[in-house]
Amino acid sequence: MALSYEFSIGSVRAKECSLFSQADFEQMLLMKNEADLIRFLKDKGYGEGDTTEDILESNEKKTWEYLRGVAPDIEIFNVFLLQNDIHNFKTILKGTIFEKDYRKLLLDPYTIDPDVIRKAVENRKFDKLPEWLADAARESYDILAHSSDARLSDGIADKALMEHLISKGKASGSGFLREYFETMAFYADIKIAIRAARTKASRDYLDAVLCRVEGLDCRALAAKAVSGYDNLLKYAESIRAYDCRTAIGFYRSSPPALERFVDNKLISLAKKYCRYTTEGAEPLFGYYLGCECERKIIYIISGGINTRTSPDKIRERLREYYG
């Protein structure tokens, strides 16, 4: 019998109670070494393995097993897996052209079989890829093969992804997906512009890789980026959309703080649209993103413990959680 969203929502609401709390994360911060963290995670039934990385991978597999068993249609999550597809394409492209073994670097789950990508790249038959990726894949291949410009090649593929995500968000009829992916694309552009200003990248590069997003004038952003780093930051602070002024304030205090701000903004959107919604796919999206966020927090804590970073310093890097 087909599952209903009513059943699925009831299930994920109960499942959300098993997500870690602030108290749990605070307890992790006080662990003296990775062995203590691993023991804590295993005692909580979070995952299996001999390292934190193994446990996180185990937990991700458990999450997907659960979602496949509870979602009326598992393909509703495909929009979130497109990032894995682009990662796999870029990995296979570089591995093929530079004759490097890439198999251990591929991400799973995905929506495009890596073997399909491999054959498309090896045979230069890019029309075998989904329509949204085909032209960009061909252009990325030509750039990397003829100029070895990996940054531009990656940028072309990433732009295709962002444009597709924006399109999928608009077509979904979901206010959450639309705002989530537009926010993601907006800050992808901002970060590209900042890196370009710091490295004195060309205007041609920026015009090729910036993605059109509502609320952002890409041409003006590119012009400010090539005019200088300080000019770019001043311009970005004038952008009203997506809390950009606040974001640049965080960036000025510390570049990693911008990454934290963006992650927090995205999980805040999930909480706003998904945490208390009682119908549709949003509650399932929220739970999935909450699990992703939880794994990222644990990864940060683990890294801090292994580098003997103080709990206060690790705490500064932590993201908001979904609970």
pLDDT tens-digit profile, the chain (323 residues): 467 889 999 999 999 999 999 999 999 999 999 999 999 999 999 999 999 999 999 999 999 999 999 999 999 999 999 999 999 999 999 999 999 999 999 999 999 999 999 999 999 999 999 999 999 999 999 999 999 999 999 999 999 999 999 999 999 999 999 999 999 999 999 999 999 999 999 999 999 999 999 999 999 999 999 999 999 999 999 999 999 999 999 999 999 999 999 999 999 999 999 998 998 999 999 999 999 999 999 999 999 999 999 999 999 999 999 97
Dihedral over Cα of 188, 194, 198, 202: its sign: positive
Check residue 247 and give its pLDDT.
98
Check residue 2 and give its pLDDT.
61
Distance CA 125, CA 141 (A): 11
Distance CA 202, CA 192 (A): 12
Distance CA 160, CA 210 (A): 10
Residue 309 one-letter amino acid: T
Q: Is-above-0.85 flag for pTM?
A: yes
Check residue 323 and give its pLDDT.
75
The helix (run of H) or strand (run of E) holding residue 85 is helix 78-97
- Report which of 90, 135, 136, 85 is spatially closest to residue 111, judged by C-alpha positions: 85
Structure tokens at 269: 């959107």
Structure tokens at 115: 């073997």
Dihedral over Cα of 48, 54, 56, 58: its sign: negative
DSSP 8-state code for residue 51:
S
- Is-contact 198 142, C-beta < 8 A? no
Distance CA 164, CA 156 (A): 12
- Is-contact 267 321, C-beta < 8 A? yes
- Is-contact 282 306, C-beta < 8 A? no
Check residue 98 and give its pLDDT.
96
Distance CA 79, CA 58 (A): 22
Provide CB contacts within 8 A for 312, sequence distance 6+: none
Distance CA 92, CA 152 (A): 16
- Report which of 195, 217, 184 is spatially closest to residue 86, judged by C-alpha positions: 184
Phi, psi for residue 239 in degrees, rounded to 5: -75, 125
- Report which of 197, 247, 255 is spatially closest to residue 226, judged by C-alpha positions: 197
- Is-contact 184 266, C-beta < 8 A? yes
Residue spans of the domains in the chain: they are 1-72+281-323
Dihedral over Cα of 33, 37, 38, 40: its sign: positive
The CATH homologous superfamily of the domain defined by 1-72+281-323: ATP synthase (C/AC39) subunit, domain 3 (1.10.132.50)
- Using alpha carbons only, how large is the chain's radius of gyration in Å? 21
- Is-contact 221 210, C-beta < 8 A? yes
